[in-house]
């Protein structure tokens, strides 16, 4: 499924979980594997600076990264290492356009994230910035993921929660989740959290709203010919909280969602990155972000006319 996996590492951050995950996925799919190391602006003496390395420092840094990769990769897997400097999301998007990977894996950004937000006046996570524009999905693995009770760090994903807002991008999220599930013969749950609004419905009205949401979720399942084993779940509440709760209850190995998630009242068309950011920060398993161009034709396949058993 993934023919080329691109891992992004940066200085002043712990990239062990991201490397282990990316290497496991590459080994599982027999993919090409590339590691892009970005020297990003970081904090020094209470200010953010970008220190450019000379040729000797670059050579030493390359040897350091290659040794780090070798120590954390499965035997037999090799990685091509690229070095760069600048804002991580800009450098990664350049590489994505040039090499056209099928998957980008990113981990903790450390001081680089703080400085990027300060220098660019943007509070959006680096992973979300990449996912919004990349022609492939973005897999996020923060430190601590390796200690979670899931199989994803072995490259195998058996339990997937695809969280959708039922609006633009819903089909892409479910399609990507199904492709991953099919590859690993796992189980898929399509999930929607009905956002709380100021005039939240109660009693029968709330029941109707939940039924309508579940009906629309099931409609996507029929349209995309998802397998009959697919579970459909709808809950009311704050989307990020409900997604995380459901993923933990389901012992999910992977959460799949869009980088921007609809949270407003019906008809408001309000999109927010807050939900995805909070899911990434609170998840006990890797999170896959599926942006508007993530499928880019390569993950599409001809739809069947009947649902699979």
**What is the residue-wise DSSP string for 140-191?**
E--TTGGGSS-SGGGT---EEEEE--SSTTHHHHHHHHHHHHHHHT-EEEEE
Can you give the pLDDT at residue 205? 80
Can you give the pLDDT at residue 299? 66
Q: In degrees, to the nearest 5, what angle opens at C-alpha 277 toward C-alphas 272 and 282?
A: 135
Phi, psi dihedrals of residue 204, rounded to the nearest 5°:
-60, -35
Low-confidence residues of the chain: pLDDT under 70: 12, 41-53, 110-123, 144-155, 197-202, 263-272, 297-309
Contact assessment for residue 5 and residue 53, using Cβ atoms and an 8 Å cutoff? no
The CA distance from 278 to 244, in Å, is: 9
* H helix or E strand, kind and range, residue 84: strand 80-85
The CA distance from 253 to 287, in Å, is: 9
306 token code pair: 């009947």
Can you give the pLDDT at residue 275? 92
Q: What is the pTM of this model?
A: 0.88
302 secondary structure, DSSP code: P
Can you give the pLDDT at residue 132? 94
Can you give the pLDDT at residue 177? 96
Q: In degrees, to the nearest 5, what angle opens at C-alpha 13 toward C-alphas 291 and 26?
A: 55
Q: Enumerate residues 6+ apart whose C-beta is below 8 A from 132.
A: 259, 260, 291, 292
The CA distance from 95 to 108, in Å, is: 19
If one counts every other C-beta atom within 10 angstroms of the C-beta of residue 20, the result is 22
- Third-level CATH fold of 151-289: Rossmann fold (3.40.50)
Q: In degrees, to the nearest 5, what angle opens at C-alpha 85 toward C-alphas 84 and 90?
A: 95
Could you tell me which of 293, 303, 308 has the C-alpha nearest to residue 102?
293
Can you give the pLDDT at residue 151? 54
Place of tokens 């499928």: 295
Can you tell me whether residue 241 is helix, strand or coil? Answer: helix
If one counts every other C-beta atom within 10 angstroms of the C-beta of residue 71, the result is 9
Can you give the pLDDT at residue 44? 56
The CA distance from 142 to 139, in Å, is: 10
Can you give the pLDDT at residue 176? 96
Can you give the pLDDT at residue 261? 83
Reply yes or no on domain 4-145 having CATH 3.40.50.620. yes
Range list for CATH 3.40.50.620 in the chain: 4-145, 151-289
303 token code pair: 């739809």
If one counts every other C-beta atom within 10 angstroms of the C-beta of residue 107, the result is 27
């Amino acid at each position: 499924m993934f023919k080329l996996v691109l891992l992004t590492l940066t200085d002043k951050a712990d990239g062990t979980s991201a490397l282990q995950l990316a290497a496991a996925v590459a080994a599982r799919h027999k993919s090409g594997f590339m590691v892009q190391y970005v020297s990003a602006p970081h904090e020094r003496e209470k200010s953010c600076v970008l220190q450019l390395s000379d040729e000797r420092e670059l050579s030493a840094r390359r040897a350091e990264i290659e040794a780090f990769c070798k120590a954390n990769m499965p035997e037999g897997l090799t990685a091509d290492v690229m070095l760069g400097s600048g804002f991580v999301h800009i450098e990664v998007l350049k590489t994505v356009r040039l090499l056209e990977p099928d998957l980008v894996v990113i981990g903790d950004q450390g001081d680089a994230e703080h400085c990027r937000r300060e220098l660019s006046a943007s509070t959006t996570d680096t992973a979300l910035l990449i996912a919004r524009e990349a022609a492939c999905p973005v897999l996020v693995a923060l430190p601590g993921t390796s200690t979670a009770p899931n199989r994803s760090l072995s490259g195998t994903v058996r339990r997937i929660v695809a969280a959708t807002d039922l609006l633009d991008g819903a089909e892409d999220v479910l399609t990507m989740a199904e492709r991953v599930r099919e590859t690993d013969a796992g189980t898929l749950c399509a999930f929607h959290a009905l956002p709380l609004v100021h005039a939240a419905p109660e009693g029968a009205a709330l029941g109707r709203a939940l039924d309508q949401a579940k009906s629309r979720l099931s409609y996507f399942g029929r349209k995309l010919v998802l397998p009959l084993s697919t579970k459909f779940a709808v809950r009311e509440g704050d989307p990020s909280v409900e997604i995380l709760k459901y993923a933990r209850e389901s012992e999910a190995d992977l959460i799949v969602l869009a980088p921007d998630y609809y949270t407003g009242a019906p008809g408001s068309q309000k999109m927010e990155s807050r939900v995805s950011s909070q899911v990434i920060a609170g998840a006990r398993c890797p999170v896959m972000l599926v942006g508007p161009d993530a499928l880019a034709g390569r993950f599409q396949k001809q739809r069947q006319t009947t649902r699979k058993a």
